[in-house]
Amino acid sequence: QVQLVESGGGFVQPGGSLRLSCAASGSIFGIYAMGWYRQAPGKERELVARVDSGGATNYGDSVKDRFTISRVNAKNAMSLQMNSLTPEDTAVYYCNMEYYNSWGRGIQVTVSS
C-alpha cells in the first residue's frame, strides 16, 4: 500500500554525476527515516545514505565525501546527488522507507568508459 519509485538512474562515465530521486505514495501519515541502498554483482547489499525523521544523515564509508542525501519539500521523498562516480559505484540502487518496510524496485546506475 506504500509505494516507492526511483528515478534518475542511467549510464555515466567515470568522474561524472547523477541525481537519483525517490517518490513515495500511499497511506503515509508522518515523516519516517528513508535511505538509499545498493547492490553490485557479487557483493552484499549495502547502505549508501540515510536520513532520519529529524533530518540527520549518515553515509556509507565509500560514498560519504561524494554523495549527498536530502529530503524534498517536507514530503516523504528524497534525492541522492552522486558526484565523482567510479566504476565501483555501478549497482542497482534501492529506495527504502523504514517504518513501512517498503522498498522500491531498484534503478540501475552504470559507471563505465
**Predicted confidence (pLDDT) per residue in 77-98, tens digit:** 899 999 999 999 999 999 999 9
Q: Is the separation of the CB atoms in 112 and 90 below 8 Å?
A: yes
- How do strand 57-59 and strand 46-51 relate by DSSP bridges? antiparallel
Task: Tell me what pLDDT residue 5 has.
Answer: 96
**Most distant pair of Cα atoms in the chain: their distance:** 44
Residue 103 has pLDDT above 70, yes or no: yes
Residue 43 one-letter amino acid: K
